[in-house]
Structure 1
Amino acid sequence: MTISLDPRDWKYFSQGAANVIFQFSNNSGLNTSTTNLEDPQLCLLRLRKKIKDLPTTVDNWSFIENSVIPLTNGYMASMKLVKIDTELLLALNDKAGQSSDNFPFFELNISESHGILMQNLRPPHLMAANKNKYLHISTFFSDFLRSAFIEFKPKWLVQSLSAPSNSRYCRTCAVKQMRGKSHQITYCPLQLLKKNAQDVKKLVDRLLGDTLDEIWHPIIGLCLHKVVMESPVFSIIKSIQEMCQKSIVDYSDTEDLDNEFGLFMSACDCTLLINIMTNNIQAERDVLTIKEGETTYFISCKLVDLDKKNIISPIKRKHWKSIEEKLINEGWYTGINSNSAHQLPSCF
């Protein structure tokens, strides 16, 4: 696939722990049929940071294409592997260093030969309405376009395989309490799998909080309720997580972590993008619809960030194992070590 190699055509968009994302802007004004994007929806370029032992873009793409996409039943956001050159990486590295978000600056890995083009599901001209890093959810809306957008990390939708049989808390809630953040938690991720309408309404209210305006809160609330009740996307994430039959503490120190464990960790850290629009311009086959007054809203769900984890890193492995051992040995699953002033209701 051919893309523009002119750095003027790319502007900084966002970044995560392992990648920096740039958005296509066509500032060079070159002929779009020969030098720019063949598919205008694939307008985000995802490039790897320079981090020791991080899987390369080619390795990551092989993992996504062969191990992830076949399991997501069409719910993975569209993406393609593209070849890039060092000159583009060097120029974009400077742009990444000028970002104003909260991530510390990381250099791009200029030894990379490829990037990943991604579908940009976020409609333009959206206002950030609510960003709750503790609930792993961000909400955006646009009065002009009558559209909204939600970024959401479902986290662990299964219990840890090494959790005690008398556990009171799921893995996510146990970790939050261990880190002294129980007062910031208002829901358990396992509730995303419930299909009781009243329970889901309470869940949605807790997720959205009270920061949305009086017009958009009920609309986004109804759409999110529809997703939890009817979309299979949470069950798809759970099914991927269930493929792993061993906890990190079940692997001996001389035993390699296998592909199922890598898939599990990826699914525990994926992001769900929910696009709410008044016209079905994306023409997705699994779009949900809901009518509010005279307006019909189309709801599209897509998954991203199902990247290959660095399971060969001794540091990562030690970190994951240390957390799990602490949760077990210090009683965070069972609630023995929880602060009673902020103790959460049982997840089960």
Structure 2
Amino acid sequence: MSSPTHARCPSPSCPSALKEATLQLYYLAEGAANIIYTVSVVSPESLKHHSRCCIMRLRKDLSFTKPAQEVMSDFKSAVLPLFGDEYRTLLMEQALYRLSEEMAQKANQELREMDQVDEAAVSAEGKKVRHAHRRHIYLPSYQVEQYGILMQNLQGPGIDWLVEFKPKWLVQSPSAPSGARNCRTCALNALRRKDGKHKGRGDSGFCPFDLLVGPEQGDVLTRALKNIWPLHKGIDKFVAEFTTKVQPALRHLQKLEQEHGSVGLNDFLSPDGKDFGVAMALRDCSVFLALRRSITEGVDVVDVKFADLDLKTTEGGKVQKWAAMEQELLDGGWYYNSEGLDCSLSRAKR
């Protein structure tokens, strides 16, 4: 399917405006749990100028993904209150969308066709392809899931780059040993690199703690942001923009992680009464930065949004998996092993 070409005018109100429209889906990207599509408006004619102003998120057919209606209910009851009026704009507007059976069938058929494309054909023929570790997992049948979630497309007119990163754990694990030289994120990255496991989006080449340093450690922030800003030209301007517009958002996320901090080994081993759904969602959320080329050298941060804040399910052995991971980090000494890493905690002890 070719990409839609209608003019776009994305705004926070777009998802609600398109709830009743007939839409066409265009594969954009996917993660472990969801597939993201851009959309164009088939009808009515009066809404066609909204084509590509939204993205559609459809869940994969996996044991740990929740129905879209449940995801939206959780979002309204458990996530929205965490941000109040002051930080409400950090969350993207969302709306439930009722799929047609034809849409669901076509989307799954396209995924199956993409699974057959050789990765070498991507550059040679411009074909879409799924990464090898994402293949052979599809959307639920229409009989199982009739809804998707519409969200504002942040990459609208006037936006030159859309950058995503995961801040992961902005506070240390409650079960980390005294004198640890790695934060929770750096410890896990050290383990995964040693084992040669697939590099996750949380391993972005910087320590999460470095994202919150003060102006007196500008060189530390600059090194971290060079892993986020794609061009590096005008990095000083980006650092200044990040300090004033992004750090306040991250400090709120850090505060929420502190408040929902029952995520140590003892908590996982004694889970009764613990709200892991919110706590682990906060530690896995994504941050999107909409960037515009500055009149002067560098970029302006136009918008900051948090995404991937679905409550984590504790079913399917998830709690046991989290406990096993924390135990492995402790038993393997990964909170002390800083080989090949540059954790903020390690630098503080030099």
What code does the residue aligned with 2:208 have? P
In the superposition, the TM-score normalised over structure 1's length comes to 0.75
Contact 2:262–2:274 under 8 Å retained in 1: no
Q: 1:191 aligns with which of 180, 199, 210?
A: 210
Matches within 5 A, 1:274-313: 274-277=289-292, 292=296, 297-313=300-316
Q: Which residue of 2 aligns with 1:223?
A: 238
1:102-144 CA distances to partner (integer Å, 9 max, x unpaired)? 13232101211221001111247xxxxxxxxxxxxxxxxxxxx
Q: Which residue of 2 aligns with 1:79?
A: 94
Q: Percent identity?
A: 27
What code does the residue aligned with 1:233 have? A
Q: Which residue of 2 aligns with 1:142?
A: none
SS at match of 1:59: helix
What code does the residue aligned with 1:200 have? G
Q: Distance in 1 between matches of 2:343 and 2:103?
A: 52
In the superposition, the TM-score normalised over structure 2's length comes to 0.75
Q: Distance in 1 between matches of 2:97 and 2:279?
A: 27
Sort the Cα spacing of 1:256 and 1:40 in 2 relative to 1 into closer, same or farther, 3 A: farther
Q: Distance in 2 between matches of 1:175 and 1:254?
A: 22
Q: Which residue of 2 aligns with 1:169?
A: 182
Q: Which residue of 2 aligns with 1:94?
A: 109
Sort the Cα spacing of 1:296 and 1:310 in 2 relative to 1 into closer, same or farther, 3 A: closer
Q: Which residue of 2 aligns with 1:319?
A: 321
Matches within 5 A, 1:254-293: 255-256=271-272, 258-259=274-275, 261-277=276-292, 292=296
What code does the residue aligned with 1:156 have? W
Q: Which residue of 2 aligns with 1:247?
A: 263
Contact 2:210–2:344 under 8 Å retained in 1: no
Q: Distance in 2 between matches of 1:38 and 1:63?
A: 31
Q: Which residue of 1 aligns with 2:123?
A: none
- Unpaired runs of at least 5, structure 1: 125-144, 279-289
Contact 2:207–2:224 under 8 Å retained in 1: no
What code does the residue aligned with 1:77 have? M
Contact 1:71–1:240 under 8 Å retained in 2: yes
1:118 aligns with 2:151: yes
How far residue 31 of structure 1 moved from its aligned partner, in angstroms, is: 2.5
What code does the residue aligned with 1:238 have? Q
SS at match of 2:110: helix
Q: 2:161 aligns with which of 148, 162, 183?
A: 148
Contact 2:174–2:261 under 8 Å retained in 1: yes
- Unpaired runs of at least 5, structure 2: 1-15, 115-127, 197-202
Structure having the higher helix fraction is 2
1:46 aligns with 2:57: yes
What code does the residue aligned with 2:145 have? E
1:200 aligns with 2:218: yes
Sort the Cα spacing of 1:313 and 1:200 in 2 relative to 1 into closer, same or farther, 3 A: farther
1:67 aligns with 2:78: yes
SS at match of 1:77: coil
Q: Distance in 1 between matches of 2:343 and 2:148?
A: 44
Contact 1:270–1:305 under 8 Å retained in 2: yes
Sort the Cα spacing of 1:273 and 1:210 in 2 relative to 1 into closer, same or farther, 3 A: closer
What code does the residue aligned with 2:78 have? S
Q: Which residue of 2 aligns with 1:109?
A: 140
Q: Distance in 1 between matches of 2:299 and 2:193?
A: 42
Contact 1:156–1:189 under 8 Å retained in 2: yes
1:254-290 CA distances to partner (integer Å, 9 max, x unpaired)? 744743x211211111111111125xxxxxxxxxxx7
RMSD (Å), alpha carbons: 3.2
Q: Distance in 2 between matches of 1:246 and 1:14?
A: 32
1:215-251 CA distances to partner (integer Å, 9 max, x unpaired)? x523355224422344311012112212224225223
Q: Distance in 1 between matches of 2:207 and 2:147?
A: 38
SS at match of 1:300: strand
